[in-house]
Each structure stands twice: as structure tokens, then as C-alpha cells.
Chain A
């Protein structure tokens, strides 16, 4: 690593002033992406601005909408009662990130701004209709989460902008959501394939609205229009779920890498999307399903 200047900001204004146009400076929140990447050839910029002491950006408020400060950790998110009950897919996702240590330091703002197509909270934020608030010297602007990611590691945020909050809207009655990933082990894992679903039912239990998103199956996290069309208007049970699987596999644009090849990823896209939709529908019916929705298999303790 090289010659790096380090500043700790305690207010957003101070961080923005230090960041300037962002051409040779970068903010670090938990550092669990940035410092790891610095090991792998992407050197740190000339100036690192630590923002983890900006207390105003930490914590969440659950009113009608859920407003999450950018510095809120995965540990806080997955333990929060309101997130677990109303915006459940986010809790499913945050609970899977890294290990206890990663969840303590890793923030939602860092997860979102790092823009990995395999990142855990992205799919849940898409299906729940989230937006991010980006702040610069020019003021705040709101960006729909689907418009934030433009490619692997790339966002539409300008280099001089700081993400201050992520807002997730209120959900209609009889709505449930879930995030499920295919993993080889629980801790320190990257999704091989992930799927998120948000399902709304009418009083008779028929699906009136649904969103399905696929993780690690394209250069950015994507919606699956075919899976969504397959479930809307149905009772959310077996035949519809099989059609969801076929739709998700058809919409996936997977790559082959050392973790899984393209065909396997495409096949698993269907399996995992079907599970996510099934759990979301179950939760929409008011049935309990454990968080995280991805089961852990362990000697003598699988479920």
C-alpha cells in the first residue's frame, strides 16, 4: 500500500468538505470491502476519510417507512424487531453477511455503495422498493435503488457524493418478503446464487403483486419479470412455484467462475427463486418462517 492521508470526520459536512470532488479521496465506513479490495490490487486513494464516527448516520427509524442511516450495521439490522416483522427480507440478508465480526463492522451504506452483484441486501432492497439518499455540497438527491447500480462495483453516484440513508417504503397489508441464497458454507461466504421475493395477497390469499430479484446471476442484481408474471394472479402454491422457477432460470444471465459454472447457476436460480417466493408467500399469509430464511445445515442441528 502507499502513502495515504487519513481523516476522521464527525459530521457529514466535514466529510463532504474533505471528499471534495472525490477524485483522490474515498470514504471508509466499516472497511470490510474497501480494505479487503486494497489487498487485491485496488490500492487505497491518496486520502481516506473515516465516517464511522458520524453518529447521525447510525441507527434506523421505523415509522410508516423504514429509514436506515448509512452506517447502520448488519448486526443491528438483522436484530431489529421492525425490520424482522415488516421488511423481513433485509433481516434474512443481513443475518447472512460474513461472520459476527463482519456484521459488526459492515454497514448497509457500504454494502449498497460497493455495488457487488453478489451482495446480500441488494435484492431485498429492490423487491421492497427502496431508494438511497445521496448528499453532496449541492444538497440531497433521492435515487431508486435499481438506478443506483450500473455494473459490477459501479454506481450512478458521483465521486463527491455520500450516501446518508436508505429508505424502504411501508408495505401493504398481507405482504411478506424473503431472501434466500445458495451457499457452500454459512460464514464468510459469497452468494453462489441468491433470490429475493416480495409478495402481496388479497383477502382470499391470491397474489395481487409480486417482485422477484436475482443475485449473482447478472452484472448487477436484476428483477425477473418472468418469475413475477408466473406468480401474480395465482394462489402462490405448487404449480405457480414451478413456473416461478422456470421464469427465474430463463431470466438469469449467469457466468461461470471457480465457484459454480453457468449451467449450475441457471438451474439453481430456479430452485432458489422458488424457495424465496414460497417463504415470502408464507410470511404474507402470516405464517412464521425462521430468519434467516436460508437454513443452516450442521451436524445434529439442520432444519
Chain B
């Protein structure tokens, strides 16, 4: 059963036709065509699918797309200003926090949400905030370092 709806992603309104059980990650990737958001486990374990809903991080693989109608969704594409990377994104590159890159969109969204709430986090707070994001490449130290660099740059 298709439901006509409008999803607001990165400030743009997208008219979509969705099944009742379509997850938000599938709507963002397949209907809207923004493929920055990744589907890793599709089981709410890895965090690759992290987006913000009304400013707070949510695993989009286990959230129904139709539940997001009426909310502001922000994906990794919404973090940069056009071609200009955010200071957080630049810090990931500076620090070597990106290897294969599969976890990176989710890491960026979780870290961005943390820095919005807490501009000057401790290393422990950074690691706890990224606790729902798995990375099988970097060993996490460089990712945590990148978030700390971005935080220091902003205060």
C-alpha cells in the first residue's frame, strides 16, 4: 500500500510515495537519491545509517520513513556548505579519521549532533557519543581525535 507523503531532508521538501514499512534509510537513498547515508547492518547495530531528526541522532534503518513526516531530517549531505566542508569534516581528513569511509557519514552525523549539544566535550564524552557507530578500519583513535580537533577549533 503506497502512501503519498512529503519528507523534509536538509531543508528541501521531497514528495514521495512510500510503503508503510519503508525504512527512512531506504527512502533517503532509493526515493530521494541521497546516497551519503549508508546501510550497514540494517539492524540498528552499526550506526552507518545515522541521520538527525529534528537535530537529534537516529538510526534511519530502524525508523519508519513515514514517522519522519513533519520532522526535519538532516543527512551527511546537509553538513557541508555546498562544496565547502564543515570544520568537523575537514578535521576527519586532517586526522586520518577516514579509511574505507563506510562508517564516516554516520560518524559525522553523531559527532555533529554531539558538538551542537556540547561544544567542548571531553575525550570520554566523544567516545560515548560515538558508542553507536562501528568502524572496522581506523581503530577509533583518529576519529575521536578529529572530533576533539573540531571542538577545539570552534571554542
Q: Does A pair with B?
A: yes
Interface residues of A (CB under 8 A from B): 1-6, 8, 28, 31-32, 35-36, 38-39, 44, 47-48, 50, 52-53, 75, 98-102, 104-105, 185-188, 296, 298, 300-301
Q: Is B98 located at the chain interface by the 8 A CB criterion?
A: no
Label chain B's interface by main secondary structure: mixed
List B contacts of A188 (CB < 8 A). Answer: 44-45, 131-132
Is there a chain A Cβ closer than 8 Å to B94's Cβ?
Answer: no
A3-B1 in contact (CB<8A): yes
Residue B97 at the A interface, CB < 8 A? no
Interface string of B43-71 (1 = CB under 8 A from A): 11101001001001111001110110110
27 CB contacts below 8 A, A to B, read A3-B1, A4-B19, A4-B21, A6-B21, A31-B63, A32-B44, A35-B44, A35-B62, A35-B63, A35-B64, A36-B44, A38-B21, A39-B42, A44-B21, A47-B20, A50-B66, A50-B67, A98-B132, A100-B110, A100-B113, A101-B50, A101-B57, A101-B132, A102-B44, A298-B124, A298-B127, A301-B123
A28 proximity list for chain B (CB < 8 A): 64, 67
Q: In the bound complex, what is the Cα–Cα distance between A300 and B126 (angstroms)?
A: 14
Chain A neighbourhood of B113, CB < 8 A:
100
Pick from B20, B62, B70, B122: contact of A31, CB under 8 Å: B62
Indicate the member of A5, A105, A296, A298 with the most B CB atoms within 10 Å: A105
Contacts of B123 in A (CB 8 A): 300-301
Decide if A105 touches B43 in the complex (CB within 8 Å).
no
A193 CA to B117 CA in the complex, in Å?
32
Residues of B within 8 A of A (CB): 1, 3, 19-21, 23, 42-45, 47, 50, 53, 56-59, 62-64, 66-67, 69-70, 110, 113-114, 122-124, 127-129, 131-133
Q: Which of A31, A186, A298, A300 has the most CB of B within 10 A?
A: A31
Closest to A47 in B: B20
The reply to whether A6 and B3 contact each other, CB–CB distance below 8 Å, is yes
CA distance A28 to B67 in the complex (A): 9
Q: Which of A1, A53, A100, A188 has the most CB of B within 10 A?
A: A100
Contact B110 A52 (CB under 8 A): no
Nearest-Cβ distance from residue B24 to partner chain A, whole angstroms: 10
Min CB distance B81 to A, Å, is 25
A35 to chain B: closest residue by CB: B62
Chain B residues lying within 8 Å of A75, measured Cβ to Cβ, are 56
